[in-house]
Amino acid sequence: MPLQIYNSLNRQKQEFKPIKTNEITMYVCGPTVYDLSHIGHARSAVAFDVVYRYLKYKGFNVKYTRNYTDIDDKIINRANKDGVPWNEISERYIKAFDEDMAALDVELPTFRPKATETIREMIDVIQTLISKGFAYAMDGDVYYSVRKFAGYGKLSGKNIEELEAGARVEVDERKKDPLDFALWKSSKPGEPSWPSPWGEGRPGWHIECSAMSQKFLGDTIDIHGGGKDLIFPHHENEIAQSEAATGKPFVRYWLHNGFVNIEKEKMSKSLGNILTIRDALKNYSAEAIRLFLLSSHYQSPIDYSADALKEAEAALERYYRTLERMERDWPNVANAPIPEEVKQEILKPFIHAMDEDFNTVAVKRFIFQWVNDVNSLMDFASRTGIDEEFQKTLPRAALIFKEIGGILGIFNRNWQEYFQEKKSRSRIPADEIEKLIVKRAEARTNKDFKKADDIRKELEEKGVLLEDTPKGTVWRMKI
């Protein structure tokens, strides 16, 4: 069963056939670094992180490029507002973005170029476009002639006549046509600038992706990703630039992720509901945020809410409790080796789900079906002893959890780590809890259940749960 990918270019799920047999080239639009990244950036990053991990898992050598847009009007505006040099802004937020990605366990792409490191290549592409008649210089600016490119609109499904009719932005006098967009912008005194054949200036937004993609991955690439909002005009313009310049197809498969809404509303500056990754991490674990993001298909809109995140935390708790029970109570059974052919067989449903346009929701379902199965078997084994079914199933589940954990970047910690981290967030010191547990044990021995229950209730109000097990009382953090 080959990998099927939904391609925005023809709005169909189609079989994925890379240009080369073993190598895949993939480009994803990275952030414009003028502010902290928000949960929407996290979704895009996590979605394509899973694509990247899965393609590697399938055995491909993936060359993955994600850029930093580190020169842009928004960066300049922010710098003016803060009264600092523009590159201080971009450096600050590149660092912040990298930290956020690391916190979310997003793997580093192969190449992470900055726009400002690729200026020379951008100028080359612009010159090619001018010499081929697709672009024209005008008083230090360079514009792309949209009407010269026959395929304009093929990605976004727009046609030029309607765009013309709907054009309502202030028309730049120097443009020959309102639809034309800037490849190069002349700079005003005091603004950041680079020398070019057209004078001092800076690149337009769209050209950087064409230049960086070409520089690091070649003229035609396998996969290009980004948020749905980038389809028009950004990706449409990238196609126009790259294909006009090289005369070759730019991208074989376009992938676009859906938005994150906040409590059913679109995130926007005007609504003031931008949720930064940092703020989300203050309330929820990175792993829960990842699970939340992967609990819907990457193309669907999703709704960030306290309920949804709590649900993700609860699911993780359930998973790690199961893992704990397996590895603590039956380590020898759980870690028994699995023959390679059995491994291939039991992984089939997961592979099949991921091959269907990265169906992470189905993968999650399988994980929890295994969770249910092993819990059921462990219940049975605790009562009546180990049987053949148990010995067969437990190591298989352990293997599946490990393999899938690597692909999703979730479910891949060990249980000690998971519970330790949660306990470290307790507002009451551990030794104080331990003391209360001893006190409660005494009360229980004396059949003073009122006192025992009061202690448990007291701790519960502070977020600590006590559980009485055959091996004594243990404590956990409430979700």
Under the binding rule (CB under 7 A), the answer on residue 10 touching RNA is no
Closest CB to RNA among residues 244, 260 = 260
Chain residues 74-93 in contact with RNA, contact rule CB under 7 A: 74
Comparing CB distances to RNA, the nearer of 180 and 222 is 180
Q: Which residue has the tokens 């009562």?
A: 383
29 binds RNA (CB under 7 A): yes
DSSP label at residue 248? S
Of residues 230-259, which lie at the interface with RNA (CB under 7 A)?
230-234, 257-259
d(C-alpha 106, C-alpha 185), whole Å: 34
32 is a site residue for RNA (CB under 7 A): yes
DSSP 258-315: --EEETTEE--TTTT---BHHHHHHHS-HHHHHHHHTTS-TTS-EEE-HHHHHHHHHH
Q: With respect to RNA, which residue has the nearer C-beta, 247 or 368?
A: 368
Pick from 139, 385, 469, 471 the residue near RNA by CB under 7 A. 469
Pick 127 or 479: Cβ nearer RNA: 479
Q: How many CA atoms lie within 13 A of 30 on its CB side?
A: 30
Minimum distance, C-beta of residue 131 to RNA, in the bound complex (Å)? 26
Question: What distance in Å separates the CA atoms of residue 191 and residue 186, rounded to the nearest whole number?
Answer: 10
Question: d(Cα 233, Cα 390) in Å, to the nearest integer?
Answer: 56
Which CB atom, from 44 or from 196, has the smaller least distance to RNA? 44
Residues 67, 212 contacting (CB under 8 angstroms): yes
d(CA 369, CA 350): 12
Q: Does 273 bind RNA (CB under 7 A)?
A: no
Among 117, 172, 345, 453, binds RNA (CB under 7 A): 453
Nearer to RNA, 1 or 169 (CB): 169
Alpha-carbon gap, residue 391 to 7, rounded angstroms: 43
DSSP-based three-state secondary structure for 333: helix
Which CB sits closer to RNA, 29 or 245? 29
Contacts (CB under 7 A) with RNA, residues 181-220: 205
For the sheet containing 265-266, what is the strand order? 265-266, 260-262, 302-304
Taking contact as CB under 7 A, which single stretch among the options 114-122, 186-194, 366-374, 404-412 is the one that binds RNA? 366-374
- Measure Cα distances from 319 to 92, 372, 398 in Å: 37, 10, 11
Q: Which residues contact 104 (CB under 8 A, 6 or more apart)?
A: 42, 45, 46, 277, 286, 289, 290
Q: Answer yes or no whether residue 465 interacts with RNA by CB under 7 A.
A: yes
- What is the CB neighbour count within 10 angstroms for residue 106? 22
Does the protein bind RNA through residue 169 (CB under 7 A)?
yes
Cis bond before residue 331 (omega within 30° of 0): no
Smallest distance from the beta carbon of 234 to RNA, in angstroms?
Answer: 5
Q: Considering beta carbons, is residue 329 or 417 the nearer one to RNA? A: 329
Q: How far is the CB of 168 from RNA (least distance, A)?
A: 6
Residue 389 CB, nearest approach to RNA (Å):
13
Window contacting RNA (CB under 7 A); options: 99-107, 112-120, 133-141, 358-366: 358-366
| Residue 452 touches RNA, criterion: CB under 7 A | yes
| Farthest-apart Cα atoms in the chain, separation | 93
Interaction between residue 329 and RNA (CB under 7 A): no
As measured in angstroms, the least distance from the Cβ of 219 to RNA is 23
> Minimum distance between the CB of residue 192 and RNA, rounded to whole angstroms?
17
226 interacts with RNA by CB under 7 A: yes
Indicate the DSSP class of residue 32.
Answer: B
Q: Please identify, among the stretches 38-46, 328-336, 338-346, 399-407, the one whose residues bind RNA according to the rule CB under 7 A.
A: 38-46
We find the least distance from the C-beta atom of residue 467 to RNA, in angstroms, to be 4
Find the binding residues for RNA in span 122-161 (CB under 7 A): 156-159
Q: Does 438 bind RNA (CB under 7 A)?
A: no
Count other C-beta atoms under 10 Å from residue 245's C-beta: 24
Give the binding range for RNA (CB under 7 A) out of 55-63, 86-94, 166-174, 332-340.
Answer: 166-174
Q: Residue 227 interacts with RNA (CB under 7 A)?
A: yes
Asked if 276 interacts with RNA (CB under 7 A), we say no
Locate the DSSP E strands across 329-463. none
Binder of RNA out of 160, 267, 346, 347 (CB under 7 A): 267
CA gap 134, 126 in Å, rounded: 9
Cβ distance to RNA smaller for residue 357 or 403? 357
C-alpha separations of 39 from 67, 104, 386 in Å: 18, 11, 46
What part of residues 283-322 is at the interface with RNA (CB under 7 A)? 295-297, 300-303, 307-308, 311, 314-315, 318, 321-322
Which residues, at least 6 apart from 136, have a Cβ–Cβ distance to it below 8 Å? 130, 142, 143, 145, 176
> Which of 44, 118, 186, 285: binder of RNA (CB under 7 A)?
44
Tell me which amino acid residue 24 is. Answer: I
When asked if residue 386 is in the footprint of RNA (CB under 7 A), the reply is no
For RNA, give the closer residue by CB, 68 or 136. Answer: 68
